[in-house]
């Protein structure tokens, strides 16, 4: 935050006037759109805000890029646009050729944004690229997501709610590895291309929770099974061959190292997440899990 070449501006990407004003002030040559509503549970509860931010917000950002001559617009997408894979077919992975087959309002809004980005490339010749990543984890991860939620609950000796039987599989990617991939794509990746960014760290939700309990010295009896999420995807797994062959990217952080670094960060930064879970999020959590 203290860097002389850094500026933080809090604004809504759906606010066209604010976005255009910022582009006029900063004259960016590269724009990376990380901004998104991203929690599947919230999208099931209230789809509208996901359509607004993830689709309309994306269109406004690209309109600004067209208007002010940006050299590259990069869309940070998700592997969830591909839907899911069967649990028993470990040979199957998401590739660029995998058809879009969404399961939730969240993934549908991200898929719509991807299609819009590709349309701007074809129609307006906007220089774009897209990356579709697997589940991220690491420092500053918002406490509603699986890993930080389990860490926070375990530290407070609260129950650890897991959907269904906890057998759903996710491919976990440490956040710094993801950012390195994006940096490579925007500087060396091909315009108009889609890159899948995966962590080669497939784990079931129940394995994640047991590992967190072990690292924190907490009993597995804290784990509580709750009714499954509506439309819950079974398995995500990305084939990152393309980004490796073209750009030489591979994830550098093993899950065991990444989860230990993540847990250590949450232990050292309790005030950050404790303030969050004491506010509006607390009522959301109670609404989502208390009666299940």
Is 80 known to be catalytic? yes
Buried b (16+ CB within 10 A) or exposed e, 221-259: ebbeeeeebeeebebbbbbbebbeeebebebebebeebb
Active-site residue, from 37, 73, 80, 120: 80
Per the CB < 8 A criterion, the answer to whether 78 and 136 are in contact is: no
Active-site residue, from 37, 73, 79, 114: 79
Active-site residue, from 37, 82, 84, 106: 106
Q: Cα separation of 117 and 126, whole Å?
A: 9
In DSSP terms, 225 is beta-bridged to 162
Q: What is the 3-state secondary structure (H, E, C) of 45-58?
A: HCHHHHHHHHHHHH
Q: Cα separation of 106 and 256, whole Å?
A: 29
Q: Cα separation of 114 and 75, whole Å?
A: 7
Q: Cα separation of 144 and 282, whole Å?
A: 10
At 260, list the tokens. 């230990």
Cα-flanking dihedrals φ and ψ of residue 95, to 5°? -125, 175
Map tokens 């129940």 to a residue: 206
User: Any idea which residues carry the catalytic annotation?
Assistant: 79-80, 106
């Amino acid at each position: 935050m203290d860097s002389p070449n850094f500026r933080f501006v809090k604004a809504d990407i759906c606010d066209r006037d604010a976005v255009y004003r910022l582009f006029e002030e900063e004259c960016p040559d590269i724009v990376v759109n990380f901004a998104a509503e991203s929690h599947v549970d919230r999208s099931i509860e209230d789809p509208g805000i996901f359509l607004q931010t993830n689709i309309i917000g994306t269109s406004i950002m690209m309109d600004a890029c067209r208007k002010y001559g940006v050299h590259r617009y990069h869309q940070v997408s998700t592997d969830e646009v591909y839907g899911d894979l069967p649990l028993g077919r470990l040979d199957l992975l998401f590739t660029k050729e995998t058809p879009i087959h969404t399961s939730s309002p969240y993934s549908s809004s991200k898929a719509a944004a991807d299609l819009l980005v590709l349309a701007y490339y074809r129609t307006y010749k906007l220089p774009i690229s897209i990356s579709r990543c697997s589940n991220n984890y690491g420092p500053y991860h918002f406490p509603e997501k699986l890993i930080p939620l389990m860490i926070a609950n375990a530290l407070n000796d609260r129950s650890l709610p897991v959907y269904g039987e906890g057998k759903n599989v996710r491919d976990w990617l440490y956040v710094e590895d993801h950012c390195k991939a994006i940096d490579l794509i925007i500087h060396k990746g091909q315009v108009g291309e889609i890159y899948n960014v995966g962590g080669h760290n497939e784990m079931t939700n129940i394995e994640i929770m047991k590992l967190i309990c072990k690292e924190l010295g907490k009993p597995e009896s804290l784990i509580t099974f709750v009714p499954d999420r509506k439309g819950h995807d079974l398995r995500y797994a990305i084939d990152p061959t393309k980004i490796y062959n073209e750009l030489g990217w591979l994830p550098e952080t093993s899950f065991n190292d990444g989860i230990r670094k993540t847990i250590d960060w949450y232990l050292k930064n309790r005030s950050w997440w404790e303030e969050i879970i004491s506010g509006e999020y607390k009522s959301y959590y109670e609404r989502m899990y208390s009666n299940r």
